[in-house]
Amino acid sequence: MPPPVPPKRNAGKVWGIVGAVAGVLVIGTLVSTLASSGGGSSSGASAGPRYRITVPQTLAGGEYKLAKDISQQAGQAVPHDGANEHGIKAAGGQYSSGTKSLVMLGLYGVIDDPETTVDHSMRGMTSDGKTEVAVAGKEFTPSGGGDSLTCGVDVRTEMGQKVTLPFCIWADSTTSGNVVETDASELSKDPRSVNLQEFADKVGKIRDEVRKPLG
């Protein structure tokens, strides 16, 4: 069920924005793979992927509930092979928690250079002319442990509305993931007021929940 959105008459607009955010993630990741495309084989590809990305019914310890699985949409948009990524599959979902909406998109396969994937993903998210960087991405280590995440804040103009979009991205040799959150109660929140360490802590939990060993 969609989250309650104050006021009620804005519900359709907010969910249109959420759908657009999902599109930004899919398109951004598409740009990431296309930017490094060029064919050829990877010397590390023979090792194969070690993890897969799943789409659980809840995220962040049950805080968010799955509203829509976007895995098929993502899978149709993302090339399976490039110069940096090989044998790629996609999985993702839109989640809700009260007035908050969260989009998670993950890729899994073989990734030669994780830093390149993170860089291209961030640039891809702002390539549509509607989204601009408000707080540049930098590395945060989740308080619960695990590898660092690259987190920042973008601002997107959608349907005449400016939307503040905190994001965190990770990539390793076998998976990458983007997580973006919006809040209907404060769509135009000051980007500089976003607590990115707190968001990184949340995304660290989400990464543990969606990234599962193959087999």
Q: Which residue in 204, 83, 188, 103 sits closest to 145, CA to CA? A: 204
Instruction: Output the six-digit token pair for 167.
Output: 């994001």
Q: Which residue in 182, 168, 172, 210 sits closest to 53, CA to CA? A: 210
Give the mean model confidence (pLDDT) for residues 31-53: 60
Whose structure tokens read 């799943």?
54
pLDDT at 31: 67
pLDDT at 86: 85
165/190 Cα distance (integer angstroms): 10
Give the mean model confidence (pLDDT) for residues 179-198: 94
